[in-house]
Structure formats: structure tokens, C-alpha cells
Amino acid sequence: MGWVTWCCLLAPVLGPLPPTAAALPSAISVGAEGPVTAAPAPLVLTLPDALKLGLARDRAVRIGQLDAVTARAAETQAYAAYQPSIDLLGNYSTFDSASAGFASGAAGASISHNVSVRVEQMIFDTAQALYGIYRTRQEARAAEQRELEAQLTAAKRIAADFYEVLRTGSLERLAEQVLAQSRRELELARARAAQGSGARLDVTRAEVAVANSQVELSSAGGDRRTALSKLRYDLLLPPGTPLDVSDAWLVPAVEESLAEALVAARADRPQIAAAQATSRARQHALTAARLRRWATVNVNANYQKFFESSRDVTSEYQITAAVTIPLFDGQAGEAAETAAEAAYLRAGEQFQQQLETASLEVEQAHLSWTTASERLVAAEAAARLAAATLSQTEESYRLGVASLLELAASRTEYSRAESNRIQAKVDRDLASINLRVAVGRLPLPTANQGESR
């Protein structure tokens, strides 16, 4: 599939793409071996872009949408029980017989035909259809909430994989910086050795440091490619599709207290709403099962208008009333009521379980965000100190007042501090998103949220 095709497919989901994602390269370089077309620019996605694309294509979300459609169709069917049905009927039949021997009855032929419109209407049914409407309405609401739950689950997974790409990309750039620092140290060691102010052993140590930095850079590049492949899978992009991510979108800060988040989760969390709707649906099913154990009354009306009839009639109407009183059914009615009651009690337990699960997940998500925010402040301070220390130690080594071992130690501390800062920032942003998901909100920007840092 060509790059132009991919841009056309993604445009309805992402809207106008940034120039780096939408523009096709037009420059063609001609070398000794013939013309070489430049590689297409990668599709650069922010987190909202990735979420919109992923949610539009996620299989579990699509299944949830279809389940909701099915549930709403069942609700419509339940409502139809109280609506009249109108049918156009037509029939034609011919009959012929012959008698022989001692057979009784007269032989003869008959032809009948009818063309009519029939209207049927249920008048009363001891609320069986009514409770069917109540039940299917709650089941449709539960299905819609489960669709939102599938979206939240997918959004949490996509966000985690998106930030893994950001993290591994930052670590790859850090590995490039460390490699450049190691090469500078090697140049300084060689220069000092040539001047006679440094030992040959320092050159060897610096060469080892460069080799190790190259290995770490290769490993970091492999980790990033692996993370990109996982994100491509989440977005249902073909393997090898040029893809990159951007942290241009500012993750909104958490402004709710734990108590406020818990209250919001009870109101917004789809798992709670789905469990509550399911419990109400089971309650209506239980009421219907109990009514069926006693007398049931059904009243139906039927009117038929004939346009053409061999019976020479113009219209007919019929009102039917039926009363059913179960005398013995092998305890089938009692068993049905018991099963309905157990289903209702089970749904109630699931509802309480969802309330408890929500409290736990929201509390943990809020604590994770608080801890990650505190850790990010400390990690940023440590990274600034480590960068300053590395710069000062490098200058001291250049002046001959610091050893290569001290410079290598400063480089190692800087690498560790910067790695911790990168991880802390990813953890803080992911914790903010996970808290929104735990409360029951999609981590997508609203109109009053900034789009850039």
C-alpha cells in the first residue's frame, strides 16, 4: 500500500496532518548507480492523534459498538409489542375430489381466494411486554457503557505504548549524547598522552568507554524499534510503516483531590454504570418471572379488511381474551423464579464489587501520580546537578586537575540521572492519564486544554 493511500486513510481520523506527516518528499537524488527516491517522511503522531486513530480501529472497541447496536435493536423489538402490526395478505387455493364405491360425501371442486389488510394490536398482557421493555432498556444502557469501557481499556494500552516510544527515543538520544561525551574524553586522553601529561592507560580506558557507549546506543535503538512495532500494532498499521511520536501535547495536570476523584469515579466510571444497569435489568426479569407463576391475562384485537374474497365478505374483526392459571408445571415456574432471583442477586454483588474495585484503582492511580510528581521534581534537580558536575569535571580534566576516572564517574552519574529524569517524566504523565482512565474519562484533550508545550 502506497504512502498516499495511507495519508488518505488516516486523514478522516486525524484531521489535517502536520507537514511532516502529510507532505510527500519531492526531492530525488541521482547518484552513480541511478536515481534514488528519498524515503517517505514518517507519520508523526501526538498522543491525541494516536488515541483517535487507535480507538477508531481497535477490534475490542468495534465489538463493543456492535454489541451496543444489538442491544438497542432488542429494545426496539420490545417496544414493538405495544405497536400495531399491519400486514397485506393474499391467498389462492383450489381443491378437487372424486368419489367412488361406497364412499360418503359428494365429489366436487372448490376455489378460494382472498386479498386483505390485517391489523393486530395487543391490548393487555399483565405487564409481561412492559417488563420486557424495562429489561431491554437497561441491557442497552449496559452495552453502551461496556463499549466505553472497551475504549478506556484500549486508550490505556495505547497511551502506555505511546509513552514507551517516547521513553526509548529519549534514552536513545541520551545514549548518543553519552557516546559523543565518551569520544570527547578519548580525544582529550589522546591529546594529554601526546603531550606527555597523561597516561597511555587513560587512552585505553577511554576507548573502552567509547565501545561500551556504542553498544548501549545500539541496544537503545533496538528498544525504540521494538516499542514502535508495538505501537504500530495498536494502531493496526502495517509492519514497517514509517512512524514517529511527538510530546507536543501537554498532559493536563491533576487538579482533583483523592476524595473528588472517588466521587467522580462513581458518577463517570462505565464499569459501575454497566453493573448498575445490569442489576436493574435482572430485577425486571425477576418481576416478570414472578408474575408468570400466577394468572396471566392476554387480550388481543384483530381487524381484517377484504378487498377481494371468494367468501363474499368485506371485513372481519376478532377480540381474544385468554387467561392462563398454572396448576402444575413440574416446578418449572418456581425454578425460573429462583434462577431469576439468583441472577439479580449476582448482579447486585457485581455492582458492589465494581464500587470496591473503583475505589482501589482510583486510590492507587492518585497515589501513583503523587509519587511520580514528587520523584520528577527530585530527578530534574539531580539531572541538573549531574550535568553541571560533568561539565566542570570535563573542564578540570582538560586543565589537568582531574583524572579520567573522575571524568568517567561524572559521565556515568550524568547518564544515570538523566535516565532517571526521563523515566520519572514518563511515569508522571502516564500516571495522570491512568488516573483519568480510572475515573472513567477518555484521556483526550478538551476545548480548553492546550495542545502544545
In a domain, 449, yes or no: no
Q: Provide φ and ψ at 302, rounded to 5°.
A: -140, 125
Residue 97 confidence class, pLDDT cut points 50, 70, 90: low
10 residue type, one letter: L
In a domain, 372, yes or no: yes
Are 284 and 195 contained in the same domain? Answer: yes
In a domain, 195, yes or no: yes
- The rounded distance, in Å, linking the Cα atoms of 9 and 70 is 28
Q: pTM of the full predicted structure?
A: 0.81
In a domain, 448, yes or no: no
Are 321 and 209 contained in the same domain? Answer: yes
Are 20 and 134 contained in the same domain? Answer: no
Q: What is the pLDDT of residues 287-343, one digit of tens each?
A: 999 988 888 889 999 999 999 888 888 999 999 999 988 889 899 999 999 999 999
- Count of residues making up the chain: 453
Are 325 and 363 contained in the same domain? Answer: yes
In a domain, 219, yes or no: yes
* Host domain of residue 9: 1-41
Q: Percent helix, strand, coil in the chain (nearest 5)?
A: 65, 15, 20
In a domain, 450, yes or no: no
Q: Which residue would you say has higher pLDDT here, 433 or 128?
A: 433
- The rounded distance, in Å, linking the Cα atoms of 178 and 183 is 9
Among all chains, which residue has been given the C-alpha cell 480548553? 448
Are 287 and 415 contained in the same domain? Answer: yes
- The rounded distance, in Å, linking the Cα atoms of 411 and 260 is 44
Are 36 and 56 contained in the same domain? Answer: no
CATH number at residue 267: 1.20.1600.10
Residue-averaged pLDDT of the chain: 87
b/e per residue, 348-377, with b = 16+ CB within 10 A? bebbeebbebbeebbeebbebbeebbebbe
In a domain, 99, yes or no: no
Are 258 and 295 contained in the same domain? Answer: yes
273 residue type, one letter: A
pLDDT for 96: 74
Are 176 and 213 contained in the same domain? Answer: yes
- The rounded distance, in Å, linking the Cα atoms of 171 and 221 is 9
Residue 27 confidence class, pLDDT cut points 50, 70, 90: very low
pLDDT for 443: 87
Q: Give percent of the chain above pLDDT 70.
A: 87
How many folded domains does the chain comprise? Answer: 2
pLDDT for 102: 53
112 pLDDT above the threshold of 70: yes
Are 5 and 76 contained in the same domain? Answer: no
Are 54 and 31 contained in the same domain? Answer: no
98 pLDDT above the threshold of 70: no
Are 268 and 370 contained in the same domain? Answer: yes
Q: What is the pLDDT of residues 328-341, one digit of tens each?
A: 989 999 999 999 99
Give mean pLDDT, residues 365-369: 96
Highest-confidence range of 16-25, 108-117, 305-314, by mean pLDDT? 305-314
Residue 251 confidence class, pLDDT cut points 50, 70, 90: confident
In a domain, 100, yes or no: no
Q: What is the pLDDT of residues 169-211, one digit of tens each?
A: 999 999 999 999 999 999 999 998 998 887 889 999 999 999 9
Residue 11 confidence class, pLDDT cut points 50, 70, 90: very low
Give residues with Cβ within 8 angstroms of 266, minimum separation 6: 272, 355, 358
Are 294 and 311 contained in the same domain? Answer: yes
pLDDT for 294: 87
